[in-house]
Amino acid sequence: MTEIFTGSFTQQEPIPEEGIAAALEVLRHGRLHRYNTVPDEISHTALLEEEFAALTGARFCLAVASGGYAMSTALRAVGVVPGDRVLTNAFTLAPVPGAIASVGAEPVFVGVTEDLTIDLNDLAQKVGQASVLLLSHMRGHICDMARLMDICDAAGVTVVEDCAHTMGAGWDGVVSGRHGVTGCYSCQTYKHVNSGEGGFLITDEEEVAARAVILSGSYMLYERHRAAPSPEVFERVKYVTPNISGRMDNLRASILRPQLRTLQDQVIRWNERYRVVEEGLRDTPGLRLTHRPEAEGFVGSCLQFLLLDWSVERVLDVLKRCAARGVELKWFGAPEPVAFTSRYDSWRYAPSAPMPATDRILAGLIDMRIPLTFSLEDCAQIARIIRAEVSAVYQLDTPEL
């Protein structure tokens, strides 16, 4: 009998009971705005920032309205101005070039390797074209950070990290988001903590932190922040930094705080699931898994594989066959962006030169989510289905030996 998977690729786990209780309390007292506190009260938002700073080891943390907002704020805070060029990954999600465009800057796209990390040779060639790199650890793949930092440091390029898929991850024991000047995270439903929308920005640089706080819309209430620099630092920047409101609120902060406490356990659960899918797909003819280096402490909340140099028809056939058996896969090679997939050349507001080596990877790149609502048996079944369908299509088109 043909197996069919009946689970949902978009179903999250519930918010922890502790978070629900805290959220109800916030709803009952009604002080949702982060600066709306009674005497001696510390808002959930301020506590959340303090807790995230402790979790990542950063000196300063700001909670904001989205991951995209964290990135545009980071770019402004490190001094990007309209007309600047900003290096970034050709393989990333739309909010990344969008953050660059939102500050009036222009992306310079850097290619992707078969292991889905930024192509450091391409970066080394292009690094002279900008003074900031918005590095996206897209789908959780972390490049050789030591080499990346060498290239950027030698060229005087400031690194801002997009850690939307690497909250809880690290490189060579260093928390992801702590190599660059700032790290930006997302708390959107499909990331590693879930408040619907939300984000964090971390940094050790006091003026970057002070500018970010004022940019986010602190009015002149910055002294209520606990993971922020001292008031003298704000004195230096407060008259020259615009307010571009994008604050976190106490309702979302209240449901995030307990999730930060269980993040490390969730990472273990994601990786157990990832390894089951990976094992199930290993050595499937025609399918290339991404190599995950020893130094990469990743979070397996999604998995990618390459059908490298397959024709469009065969890739579409695999997607159709898997979908018919309940396995929802996304393809980054489609000429028209579908769901969250997109290609650098579909961001037409940002001019780009053709990148044939990157096009070859994107044309074969398949992505699947691994929500924690999947059991290990679900993961094994999904892998069996993908393996069977990829093998079937591969054999169809492969001439007899």
* Strand ranges (E), 206-334: 288-289, 296-297, 302-306, 330-331
Hey, which residues between 127 and 156 contact ligand PLP (CB under 6 A)?
136, 138
Q: Least distance in Å: CB of 176 to ligand PLP?
A: 12
Residues 6+ apart with CB under 8 A from 375: none
Residues 6+ apart with CB under 8 A from 36: 43, 250
Does 183 engage in binding with ligand PLP (CB under 6 A)?
no
* Part of the chain binding ligand PLP (CB under 6 A), chosen from 90-98, 119-127, 362-370, 371-379: 90-98
Does 203 engage in binding with ligand PLP (CB under 6 A)?
no
Does 107 engage in binding with ligand PLP (CB under 6 A)?
no
Instruction: Between 165 and 225, name the residue whose CB sits nearer to ligand PLP.
Output: 165
Burial of residue 64 (number of CB atoms within 10 Å: 0-12, 13-18, 19+): buried
Q: Please give the Cα distance from 347 to 108 (Å, whole number).
A: 12
Does 180 engage in binding with ligand PLP (CB under 6 A)?
no
The 47-86 contact track toward ligand PLP, x by CB under 6 A, reads -------------------xxx------------------
Instruction: Between 70 and 233, name the residue whose CB sits nearer to ligand PLP.
Output: 70
* Part of the chain binding ligand PLP (CB under 6 A), chosen from 30-38, 159-167, 239-247, 381-389: 159-167
Burial of residue 227 (number of CB atoms within 10 Å: 0-12, 13-18, 19+): buried
Q: Phi, psi at residue 135, to the nearest 5°?
A: -90, 120
Options 141, 165, 330, 343; binder of ligand PLP; rule CB under 6 A:
165
Q: Least distance in Å: CB of 291 to ligand PLP?
A: 20
DSSP letter for 112, please.
B
Catalytic status, residue 191:
yes
Does 117 engage in binding with ligand PLP (CB under 6 A)?
no
Does 371 engage in binding with ligand PLP (CB under 6 A)?
no
Q: Please give the Cα distance from 168 to 193 (Å, whole number).
A: 10
Bridge partners, residue 203, by sequence: 60, 182
- # binding residues, ligand PLP (CB under 6 A): 16
| Diameter of the chain measured on Cα atoms | 80
Annotated catalytic residue: which of 126, 191, 238, 330? 191
Residues in the chain: 401
> Which residues are known catalytic residues?
191
Interface with ligand PLP (CB under 6 A): 66-68, 92-93, 95-96, 136, 138, 162, 164-165, 186, 188, 191, 199
